[in-house]
Amino acid sequence: MCNLYSLTKGQQAILELSRAMRDTTGNMPPMPGIFPDYAAPIVRTAQDGVRELAMVRWGMPSSKKALLDAAKMRAERLRGRGKEYDFDELLRMEPDSGTTNVRNTASAHWKPWLEPANRCLVPLTAFSEFNREAGGDIWFALSAERPLAFFAGIWCPQWTSVRKVRTGLETIDLFAFLTTTPNAEVGAIHPKAMPVILTTEAERETWMRAPWSEASVLQRPLPDAALEIVARGKKRDEGPELEGA
């Protein structure tokens, strides 16, 4: 599971490579460590049909079953302490920090967000998979220069849920990206999965425009030897542009 990545390229590079026509992010600094449930840039098609760069919170809504199971566990704890509760209200206010990676696209939970209107490009320069024996966070990139690439992502607008107990109900835009079986380099560190990475204009345009029957074939690993390990044991990958800054 990829729960950490970096983006050290500037807005103009993202706009040009993704063919986005509008930037709503403001002054976006380099992001050498992007973590779940924080805002990060995505390229999406806005309601007016314009492709735009926007800041969106990382973590799509979790499934109803996951939230129901969590609420049942909370109810059991309250019952064990002799406290009264309203289960419907408990379920409504169950915290959901979000699902960061999407693997099973056949699930009914994800189907509402698989069409072009809810697909997005998530820019990155490197991503991390954790392996304690290998040194902690192991950072992968297309090369040591960390060229810009994009995860194949999905997003949903104005979802209402409790992300954190202290803030209560929030209505926010959310995103996540797809994963698949790992290639050789990632599999040696994290054998379960790797992010779906789009490296060509044709792949990006297919992802953003094509029907699911065509776009779904992009949920596959990069070829073996397509990635390099560029850092180990760091929570931030500053890359060559930021070294010594």
Domain boundaries, the chain: 5-61+96-242, 64-95
The closest alpha carbon to 21, from 41, 45, 39, 57, belongs to: 45
- HSE at residue 208, side-chain half, CA atoms within 13 A, is 24
pLDDT in the model for residue 67? 76
Distance CA(53)–CA(99), nearest Å, equals 21
Q: Which residues contact 65 (CB under 8 A, 6 or more apart)?
A: none
- Burial (CB < 10 A; 0-12, 13-18, 19+), residue 149, is buried
Domain 5-61+96-242 has CATH 3.90.1680.20: yes
The closest alpha carbon to 129, from 195, 38, 184, 41, belongs to: 195
- What sign does the CA torsion over 198, 5, 65, 91 have? negative
pLDDT in the model for residue 243? 44
- HSE at residue 2, side-chain half, CA atoms within 13 A, is 31
Exposure string of 23-42, with b = 16+ CB inside 10 Å and e = fewer, is: bebeeeebbbbbebeebbbb
Per-residue pLDDT tens listing for the chain (245 residues):
799 999 999 999 999 999 999 999 999 999 999 999 999 999 999 999 999 999 999 999 998 888 788 878 888 888 888 888 778 876 787 878 899 999 999 999 999 999 999 999 999 999 999 999 888 999 999 999 999 999 999 999 999 999 988 889 999 999 999 999 999 999 999 999 999 999 999 999 999 999 999 999 999 999 999 999 999 998 999 877 654 33
pTM: 0.92
pLDDT in the model for residue 245? 36
As given in the structure block, the two tokens for residue 236 are: 């931030």
pLDDT in the model for residue 70? 82
Residue whose structure tokens are 């790797």 = 194
pLDDT in the model for residue 72? 87
Other CB atoms within 10 A of residue 2 CB:
21
Distance CA(43)–CA(201), nearest Å, equals 14
The closest alpha carbon to 124, from 30, 25, 188, belongs to: 30
Distance CA(70)–CA(83), nearest Å, equals 17
